Amino acid sequence: MAVDNINEMQVFARVVDSGGFSSAARSLNLSPSAVSKQITRLEDRLGVRLLTRTTRRLNLTEEGDAFYHRVKRILADIDEAEQAISISKGAPRGHLRVTSSVAFGENQLAPLLLEFLDRYPEITFELVLSDGIIDLVEEGIDVAIRQGKLSNSAMVARKLADIRRRIVAAPAYIEKFGLPESPDDLHQHNCLGFAGHPYLNDWPFKFPDGRRQTVRATGNFYANNGESIYDLLMAGLGIARAAEFMVGHHIREGSLVEVLPEFLEDELTPIHAVYPDPRHLSPKTRAFIDYMVEKLTPTPPWEAY
């Protein structure tokens, strides 16, 4: 395979992954016109249209979608071949794609990347934030950071930490609507909930006598991601059950008030690094997983106070 062909495929994959010519050009240190010319040259060589372009959107054609998935596998094989060579040199290198939920990625993972990239200067890092479940193989993801129970799959999971959830509200909300005194009082309050994840709206409680109760949280706002709920929580719209890594420091600083702490069911949600078969684990992937274990165990940073 000619080097020019590989370059064209790399540009094509980056255009699709980044959603446009301009963003792909910035990440590749090329001009948008240079990226456009490479895509046109690739389409001319293949004799098919791979992308449809409008003023606002970029879409894959049917042929483009099939070609994209093949290209991702080819580029992954090339990267793996380079990684195999780097093993003998002991220097992790290459392009690393990691996915995480929006909330964990922005609040915990992104701040850790500065030291990681400084430690491994030959690694380029791509962070894919999504609250949906991404197919790692299909999307060319090296590692997924996932919370909760894991479904059975061919993937390997390494536990990183446990997450506690706290029920909290802003002082402005408490001042206006009062503080609930029992779990049943929540029915009279505006509780911020998750859309698409109804189990997250079932808030567990434990009474001093050992009795347990689950309250279905209802209110006037639902979102499919924790960041949106967090923003409106801080603005005083309602009460929310949120991960401690998002709200713990606010509780300690007083910018959020913990609600019903005496009824808190200390339910732990595990967080794992999920990745393919460890027999084919590349040095860059192993380096990242080991780094996350180093930073999150035995005490994760959100509990280090």
pLDDT per residue as tens digits for the range 165-208: 999 999 999 999 999 999 999 999 999 999 987 889 999 999 98
Q: What is the pLDDT of residue 3?
A: 65
Tally of CB atoms within 10 A around 226: 24
CATH 3.50.30.60 assigned to domain 1-89? The reply is no
Which is nearest to 274 in space by CA: 260, 261, 285?
285
CA distance 185 to 200: 19
What confidence category does residue 50 fall into, taking pLDDT thresholds of 50, 70 and 90? very high
CATH-assigned architecture of domain 162-268:
3-Layer(aba) Sandwich (3.40)
**Bridge partner list, 220:** none
CA distance 227 to 102: 7
DSSP letter (8 states) at residue 302? G
- Report yes or no: 217 and 191 within 8 Å, Cβ to Cβ: yes
* Residues contacting 264, CB < 8 A, separation 6+: 166, 167, 205, 206
CA distance 234 to 240: 10
Beta strand 94-100 with 143-147: parallel, antiparallel or unpaired? parallel
Mean pLDDT of the chain: 89
Domain(s) of CATH 3.40.190.10: residues in the chain: 162-268
pLDDT per residue as tens digits for the range 90-138: 679 999 999 999 999 999 999 999 999 999 999 999 999 998 878 887 7
Report, as an integer, the average pLDDT of 234-246: 96
Domain(s) of CATH 1.10.10.10: residues in the chain: 1-89
